[in-house]
Amino acid sequence: MDFFSYVENLDSIELEEEININYSLDCKSHEDPYALGIKGAKEYVAATLLTSYLDEYDIDKTLPLQKIRYMLFHREIDVIQFQNILKTFIETTKAIPYEQWESVLNYIKENVNWVKRHPCSRLN
């Protein structure tokens, strides 16, 4: 199963629960939860789903992706750097075709409306 199909097959409740759990874990080391803005939130959701996907299909690439999320939530990088590093990760590791990444981002934008209200989408 490719990444886009993996995301598309998740029901909305399952997807939201996975993001809530991961966001809580990622924010745990900070008193003030980190907010990414709407575009950053969509990238975060996609990166979190990609981590889960790679756990099932290519576990060797999971650790670098987790580190990228760690760097974001420990404020070692900002949202723009996060987006650029994700792009570079996908292109260099060939974890998934970059077109699938773009398709998933578009799918989230068009179909996952709760992201706009999620705590990760507010601005700091």
Q: How far is CA 16 from the centre of its chain?
A: 12
Instruction: For the full predicted model, state whether its pTM sits above 0.85.
Output: yes
Q: Residue 1 belongs to what H/E stretch? A: none
Q: Is residue 29 within 8 Å of residue 54, measured between CB atoms?
A: no
Closest listed residue to residue 4, CA positions, set 53, 40, 45:
53
What digits encode the pLDDT tens for the residues 16-52? 898 888 888 877 766 566 678 888 889 999 999 999 9
Count of domains forming the chain? 1
Q: Tell me the pLDDT tens digit for each residue of 47-99.
A: 999 999 988 877 677 788 888 988 888 888 888 999 999 999 999 988 899 99
Domain that holds residue 23: 3-121
